[in-house]
Amino acid sequence: MEDPQNSVELSDGGARLNNGGKGKRARRRSRKGRRKAAAGVPASQDAVVADGSEQVRSPESGEAKHGRNGKAARHPSSDQKTGETLANSPDHDDDKPARRKRKRRRGRRAHTKGPLGADGCKHIAGNKPAASAEPVAQPSPPPPRREARQGDPAAPQRAPGHGLYAALDLGTNNCRLLIAQPTRHHQFRVVDGFSRIVRLGEGLAATGSLSPAAMDRAIEALAMCAAKLRGRSVRRMRLIATEACRSADNGEIFLKRVREETGLELEIVNRETEARLAVSSCASLIGRETRSAVLFDIGGGSSEIAVIKLDENRSYRLANHISHWTSLPVGVVTLSERYGGHDVTPEIFENMVAEVTRMLGDFNCPGIGGGKDDEGFHLIGTSGTVTTLAGVHLDLPRYDRRKVDGIWLSDDEVTAMQSKLLSWDFAGRAANPCIGPDRADLVLAGCAILEAIRRRWPSSRMRVADRGLREGLLTDMMMHDGVWRKQRRRGGFSRRQGAAANND
């Protein structure tokens, strides 16, 4: 068939081009095309478009390449965007073989991409699949996205409470709860907390049993802790009870009642565990220059003392460096009940110190150096007694943990604070914002235990730690799960965790 406008013979599937009147080069191309057509070569392999640019079309792929002017030539017989053929063009009315070939080529491409038909294939209108053709299997849907496990350090924090740890300490005098999230190396951010004086050990020294009123106060506080835990997504928790439940003859009965009324499962820990937890909580407060230290935790019903010796091979688990430890069966509640806490004279104070000194005499501990001239040795206290002394020393209008935790007190400053408290009557101690009426009858008993420790291990300075068993529990759980080790391998914390830590 021949085009009447430019006399270029078209083969099946060839491109129809208009080259008339476009200069010598166009005429040469046109003559060359006629010669090739006469020789049986399709003209579509070497043609010139109307604007003078070259177009080369591969018969197999039908893809236009860029011509001389850098623009892609468009095939006039099809619209790639809509898939419609230009069947109504007068130039194509007689080009049925070429249209059929292009239609078959588009049909082959349509099976590989685009929307699928009912049989799993894409079809152009009019191209029905053969009845014998096997349907193409539908692609399997992508697997559901795995939800990050709660507390997974490698997962971003997507909701409040994700990756939280909880620790509860039910002591002789206090009920304390902490909910925290690990942040920087060997540190954590407190998300929520609770503390209340319940005096669970009230009357325990005289009767050997927990009183009904004391148990009611403790269960009321524990119910509040249970509500806080239910409101958080906690990955791991540990809830412990110490000396009061340990020594009371009805301690197990009380814990059963706690389980039934609050849903909390408390465990009674032994004295060694209590001492190790106290040490774990203070690992960040033992400096690199320290060679040895005596850490003590003056509780309500018992007092734990640990001797720590450090060497060059220091580990992050400070409890691994405990050389000797002891637990004295005396605390601020038991001692104040025995000697009276309201009216404490200097003679009564010395009697309390003497009793604790006798108990310490049974502690067989080799010499660890120390002395007021040894800068590599110091005391570190984690109890309410030492934090109260620090708050009075700083003359705080109200107690502030951030100003107390980690502060250093010299030996002379500790002596001065104890003398000041001993000079106050009960009303004066209760009026101090760092003591209050709940601790006014207990603080001097704690000072007597502290004085006995200071006389056994003289030191030029003492470091105050507003932390205790809860912090030790949190630290141990996080280290057991390896959260800080995983974060080191990842090169740090996520941006959201770091921002949250910096805001606190």
pLDDT of residue 370: 61
Binning pLDDT at 50, 70 and 90, where does residue 315 land? confident
State whether 266 and 373 are in the same domain.
no
Domain count, the chain: 3
User: Which two structure tokens, joined as six digits, stand for 435?
Assistant: 């003591």
CATH of the domain at 231: 3.30.420.40
Region 23-50 average pLDDT: 59
258 closest CA partner among 224, 230, 300: 224
pTM above 0.95, yes or no: no
**Statement: residue 478 has pLDDT above 60:** yes
CA count, 13 A, side-chain hemisphere, 391: 22
State whether 342 and 374 are in the same domain.
yes
Contact 266, 241 (CB under 8 A): yes
**Statement: residue 494 has pLDDT above 70:** no
User: Which two structure tokens, joined as six digits, stand for 48?
Assistant: 């010139």
On whether residue 483 sits in a domain, the answer given is no
Contact 308, 293 (CB under 8 A): yes
DSSP notation for 312-325: SS--S-GGGGEEEE
On whether residue 5 sits in a domain, the answer given is no
State whether 307 and 227 are in the same domain.
no
Query: How far apart are the C-alpha atoms of 503 and 435, rounded to whole Å?
Result: 30
Query: How far apart are the C-alpha atoms of 130 and 221, rounded to whole Å?
Result: 77
pLDDT of residue 371: 61
Region 411-424 average pLDDT: 95
Average pLDDT, the chain: 76
pLDDT digits (tens, 9 = 90+) for 353-388: 999 999 999 898 877 766 666 788 999 999 899 999
Edge-first strand listing for the sheet containing 188-197: 188-197, 174-182, 164-170, 234-241, 267-268
Binning pLDDT at 50, 70 and 90, where does residue 223 land? very high
State whether 91 and 214 are in the same domain.
no
pLDDT of residue 18: 43
**Statement: residue 256 has pLDDT above 70:** yes
State whether 287 and 412 are in the same domain.
yes
Domain range for 104 is: 24-110
User: Which two structure tokens, joined as six digits, stand for 233?
Assistant: 């997504």
Consecutive H or E run containing 307: strand 303-309
On whether residue 261 sits in a domain, the answer given is yes
Query: How far apart are the C-alpha atoms of 78 and 75, rounded to whole Å?
Result: 6
pLDDT of residue 331: 94
What long-range pairs does 78-84 form, CB within 8 A, spacing at least 24? 78/102, 78/106, 83/124
Alpha-carbon dihedral of residues 273, 188, 492, 157, nearest 10 degrees?
120
Region 51-68 average pLDDT: 40
On whether residue 116 sits in a domain, the answer given is no
**Statement: residue 115 has pLDDT above 90:** no
State whether 69 and 210 are in the same domain.
no
CATH of the domain at 385: 3.30.420.150
pLDDT of residue 320: 86
Query: Where is the domain boundary, 76, 110, 144?
Result: 110
Give the CA distances from residue 329 to residues 271, 383, 448, 449, in Å, rounded to whole numbers and listed in that order.
10, 16, 14, 11
Query: How far apart are the C-alpha atoms of 126 and 105, rounded to whole Å?
Result: 14
State whether 450 and 315 are in the same domain.
yes
Region 378-404 average pLDDT: 94
Backbone angles phi, psi at 109, to 5 degrees: -70, -30
Query: How far apart are the C-alpha atoms of 485 and 479, rounded to whole Å?
Result: 8
Other Cβ atoms less than 10 A from the Cβ of 209: the count is 17
Query: Where is the domain boundary, 64, 82, 110?
Result: 110
Other Cβ atoms less than 10 A from the Cβ of 103: the count is 14
C-alpha 446 chain-centroid distance: 37
On whether residue 159 sits in a domain, the answer given is no
pLDDT of residue 202: 92
On whether residue 9 sits in a domain, the answer given is no
Percent of all residues in the chain with a pLDDT value above 70, rounded to a whole number:
65
Tell me, what amino acid is at 43?
Answer: A
State whether 295 and 433 are in the same domain.
yes
Say if strands 234-241 and 164-170 run parallel, antiparallel, or are unpaired: parallel
Query: Where is the domain boundary, 110, 132, 148?
Result: 110
On whether residue 300 sits in a domain, the answer given is yes
State whether 89 and 176 are in the same domain.
no
Contact 279, 306 (CB under 8 A): yes
Region 118-147 average pLDDT: 45
On whether residue 485 sits in a domain, the answer given is no
pLDDT of residue 23: 64
State whether 432 and 323 are in the same domain.
yes
Query: How far apart are the C-alpha atoms of 457 and 273, rounded to whole Å?
Result: 23
pLDDT digits (tens, 9 = 90+) for 73-109: 444 333 333 333 333 333 444 455 666 767 676 666 5
Query: How far apart are the C-alpha atoms of 148 and 154, rounded to whole Å?
Result: 9
State whether 261 and 329 are in the same domain.
no
Binning pLDDT at 50, 70 and 90, where does residue 178 land? very high
State whether 266 and 287 are in the same domain.
no
pLDDT of residue 287: 84
